[in-house]
Amino acid sequence: MASSSYEGILLGMGNPLLDISAVVDEAFLAKYDVKPGNAILAEEKHLPMYDELASKNNVEYIAGGATQNSIRVAQWMLQIPGATSYIGCIGKDKFGEEMKKNAQAAGVNAHYYEDENAPTGTCAVCVVGGERSLIANLSAANCYKSEHLKKPENWALVEKAKYIYIAGFFLTVSPDSIQLVAEHAAATNKVFLMNLSAPFICEFFRDAQEKALPYVDYVFGNETEARTFARVHEWETENVEEIALKISQLPKASGTHRRITVITQGRDPVVVADDGKVKTYPVILLPKEKLVDTNGAGDAFVGGFLSQLVQEKSIDDCVRAACYAANVVIQRSGCTYPERPDFN
């Protein structure tokens, strides 16, 4: 395929957040009532944490947000200028400018809605022993409105895309935007992909999630999210392979694509449920001393997967690229990567 035919082939829509990342200790987590591996929304008690992290001498500011990470990684893997686009809401501030610069440097065509009143969203990334805990203060990201999506210059990105990816986190912000895009994808036989994203999404945003699911052709998630999903739906099983199969067999709005479910399990094999069958894929194991932090590992996995999917490669190739991208990212701070991928 000529690179021009890849223009805008992949669109992501989500919460653009600036990661404020630092290595902390157990006492810091305890002070703010955060558990290792958490992915949660900030409450009142968490708010002082952002300044405290910012004052640490090892602090790093990295453009983040789950969907944006995945899109950036897909763009990096593809190395085709303009292949990816992204939509989300930032504030008119220093962090927002940082975000725009970062998207541009990554080669992603970002159409940000800029909110006049709210600051750009941030995510506290607390790293203890290589494991990350995420506390998101959505701020401006929470202000995304479907009116922005409906503007001709933004809807054009939806029209142009053949693959559309939205992390489950966006269900808390603009379910009506998700619905617009989901219905468009079903009506035009495009591929629509979502992520379970976090246990709290499966538990507390179940209605919004269930409304979107019939349209989803690919469901991504990790083992904890999958088990939470199963518990919420009273499936009485902890078996990830069984859960992946059941998710893939939930009703679909359109019969064009059958649903494929892809569940990661950290260092354990990736589970793929497709057409009533389950296949597992070993991941690339990394010696503990090479692990920097797991922040962005799942996002990078999806990005690697998408980079092959848009090229119509096999699921085996998609998973191989996904594991490669995740392996690169966990050896670096945040969801970052070297100049060029070394994947063939």
pLDDT band at 1 (very low <50, low <70, confident <90, very high): low
Measured CA to CA, the distance from residue 65 to residue 211 in angstroms comes to 23
pLDDT at 2: 63
Mean pLDDT value of segment 172-201: 97
Measured CA to CA, the distance from residue 212 to residue 250 in angstroms comes to 12
Who's near 154: CB < 8 A, 6+ residues apart? Answer: 87, 111, 148
Q: Is 31 inside any structural domain?
A: no
pLDDT at 246: 98
Q: Is 81 inside any structural domain?
A: yes
Q: Is 233 inside any structural domain?
A: yes
Q: Is 143 inside any structural domain?
A: yes
Q: Is 268 inside any structural domain?
A: yes
pLDDT tens string 111-161: 999 999 999 999 999 999 888 999 999 999 999 999 999 999 999 999 999
pLDDT band at 277 (very low <50, low <70, confident <90, very high): very high
pLDDT tens string 24-62: 999 999 999 999 989 999 999 999 999 999 999 999 988
- Beta carbons within 10 angstroms of residue 249's beta carbon: 14
Two tokens, residue 173: 């912000």
Q: Is 211 inside any structural domain?
A: yes
Who's near 169: CB < 8 A, 6+ residues apart? Answer: 14, 15, 65, 66, 67, 136, 197, 198, 201
Q: Is 30 inside any structural domain?
A: no
Q: What is the CATH number of the domain that holds 309?
A: 3.40.1190.20
Whether 333 has a pLDDT exceeding 90, the answer reads no
Q: Which has more confidence, 292 or 298?
A: 298
Q: What percent of the chain has pLDDT over 70?
A: 99
pLDDT at 63: 85
Measured CA to CA, the distance from residue 81 to residue 107 in angstroms comes to 6
Per annotation, catalytic residue among 299, 316, 317, 342: 299
Mean pLDDT value of segment 267-285: 96
pLDDT at 27: 96
pLDDT tens string 217-264: 999 999 999 999 999 999 999 999 999 999 999 999 988 899 999 999
Mean pLDDT value of segment 294-309: 94
Whether 179 has a pLDDT exceeding 80, the answer reads yes
Amino acid identity, position 298: G
Q: Is 52 inside any structural domain?
A: no
pLDDT at 288: 87
Contact at 8 Å (CB) between 295 and 127? yes
Instruction: Find the domain containing 224 and state its range.
Output: 10-16+65-120+139-330
pLDDT at 344: 83
pLDDT band at 168 (very low <50, low <70, confident <90, very high): very high
Whether 67 has a pLDDT exceeding 90, the answer reads yes
Q: Which of 117, 122, 113 is nearest to 90 (CA)?
A: 113
Measured CA to CA, the distance from residue 300 to residue 298 in angstroms comes to 5
pLDDT at 209: 98
CA distances from 225 to 66, 67, 168, 206, 244 (A): 15, 17, 11, 12, 11
Measured CA to CA, the distance from residue 181 to residue 87 in angstroms comes to 12
pLDDT at 130: 86
Q: What percent of the chain has pLDDT over 90?
A: 89
How many structural domains are present in the chain? 1
Per the annotation, the verdict on 299 as an active-site residue is yes
Measured CA to CA, the distance from residue 284 to residue 297 in angstroms comes to 12
